[in-house]
Amino acid sequence: MKTASLYKDLEYHKTKPLINVLLDTPFTKEIRISMQKGVLMKKHKTAFPIVVNVVEGAIDFGVQETSSEMKKGDLIALESDIYHDLKAIEDSIVRLTLTKYDNTDRVKNVVDN
């Protein structure tokens, strides 16, 4: 059994999202993305499907050329190879679920590059 908390050791950075791998299970990887108000996670895509869940706060979630506001409790599932971006409207906690085959370093590289 593995456990994690979306709130424990929570931090925000003034200019970029903070990425924390919370769980690495036999079937998924659960990642917390903490974003201070105004912070952008630039446009990127993944080779595998993902699920994004807003745990706290609110974000603008851009998919290709359309942007939608997502609030606490909202989820979205995306297929692979779809460009998307996130911008925090408020201080926000986002849970990202990756398939086991996806690489968590890919998510960190989106933030760092």
87 occurs within a structural domain: yes
pLDDT per residue, tens digit, the chain (113 aa), is: 999 999 999 999 999 999 999 999 999 999 999 999 999 999 999 999 999 999 999 999 999 889 999 999 999 999 999 999 999 999 999 999 999 989 888 888 888 87
The pLDDT value given to residue 68: 96
39 occurs within a structural domain: yes
Where do runs of H (alpha helix) occur along 1-113? 104-112
- Total of domains in the chain: 1
6 occurs within a structural domain: no
91 occurs within a structural domain: yes
The pLDDT value given to residue 108: 86
The pLDDT value given to residue 109: 86
Burial class of residue 76 (count of CB atoms within 10 Å of its CB; 0-12, 13-18, 19+): middle
CA 98 to each of CA 8, 32, 36, 38: distance values in angstroms, whole numbers, following the listed order: 21, 11, 22, 25
CATH value at residue 87: 2.60.120.10
22 occurs within a structural domain: yes
- pTM: predicted TM-score of the whole model, two decimal places: 0.94
